[in-house]
Amino acid sequence: MSSSSNYDPSAVGVKGSIFGLPFLEGDSRIVIVPVPWDTTVSYSAGTADGPQAILNASAQLDLEVVGRESTWRQGIWMEPIDKNIRAKSQELRQMAEPYIETLEAGRTHPEANEVIAAVNKGTTTLKNQLKSKTLAFLNKEKVVGLLGGDHSTPLGYLEALSEKYDDFGVLQIDAHMDLRKAYEGFEHSHASIMYNALKLPSISKLVQVGIRDFCEEELAVANADQRVAVYFDQELKWQQFEGANWQSLCKEIVTQLPDKVYISFDIDGLQPSLCPGTGTPVPGGLSFEESVYLINQVKASGRQIIGFDLCEVAPQTGDKEWNANVGARMLYALCGVV
């Protein structure tokens, strides 16, 4: 690895590369694909700025990990952020936002069909683009981490994994089920990512953890599909109040998963004090260490983590990069379990 032969992990991290690391694509086992996209966000936008904010904050992380070899030694490289994706997201967001506001006001948007058609076309194009990109990396034997953007973005990557693997499960850490069908008319809404993922025959299990905001439609989808196991945040907390410990709960969660596992991490699965800028913050949620412990228990069980996404991190003006700092550390933790 010529680019890293003189690298000093104790020196100042240089901004511009993920975690300030010196690796190139060819040196790296892990490739981060940033997706600056938040077209269908239904409450508060800003997650399209997440990849850049995390990249900026990541250089100041210290890189050692308790109890094992440092994660960075695998080689981690982040692809340059695609300005065209960001521009298209902004273009479609300007169309979608007035339409969404009209729905929330209980009115009918005069150009609803045109808006829905344009957004669906744009999100389908993005999905296909990301499927092709991630499949190319998978075929190079890279482990891909997708960095959103909103939670609609991993679908193309999941389709790529479905071509690579016949059977895998999804561990979703999230405040929301994301099981709505074409929410607000958008086929690839951030609120529909797991509804769409369940269409893929390779996904044999979806285990949702930290759920605390859901609707009747989503509950019906979960109850009707034996592949879906939901660990509601309230039930997890109440079990702990009554004497259960997190280790035993994590063991039960992990046993639900097949041998190969994809981790889909929506940052709002965490307590909102850790991610106040995220688009739809919800009281409750997991602590940072509970989340890291859970994903490490998946690894410790001998299961193979074949990929991951981290979505819905949104920077806030004046927050001194708090959202991005938490997001960067969670990204590093996810890199550590592949």
Structural domain contains residue 8: no
Is the per-residue pLDDT at 1 higher than 50? no
Digit-coded pLDDT (tens) for 177-207: 999 999 999 999 999 999 999 999 999 999 9
Residue 296 falls inside a structural domain: yes
Q: Does residue 4 sit within a domain?
A: no
Question: Is the separation of the CB atoms in 131 and 156 below 8 Å?
Answer: yes
Q: 241 and 188 in contact (C-beta within 8 Å)?
A: no
| 259 within a domain of the structure (yes/no) | yes
Q: What is the CATH number of the domain that holds 288?
A: 3.40.800.10
If you ran DSSP here, which 8-state letter would residue 80 be given?
P
Q: Count the domains in the chain.
A: 1
Average pLDDT estimate for 272-294: 95
Q: What is the pLDDT of residue 4?
A: 67
The residue behind tokens 């990069």 is 321
Determine the structural domain holding residue 268 and report its residue range.
Answer: 13-335
How far, rounded to the nearest angstrom, does the alpha carbon of residue 43 sit from its chain's CA centroid? 18
263 domain residue, yes or no: yes
With respect to residue 68, please indicate whether it lies within any of the assigned structural domains.
Answer: yes
Tell the residue number behind the tokens 């966000």, with chain if given: 41
Whether 167 maps to a domain, the answer reads yes
In a domain, 2, yes or no: no
The whole-number pLDDT of residue 2 equals: 41
Q: What is the pLDDT of residues 217-258, one digit of tens each?
A: 999 999 999 999 999 999 999 999 999 999 999 999 999 999
Residue 326 is predicted with a pLDDT of: 97
Identify the CA nearest to 313 among candidates 14, 18, 38, 31: 38
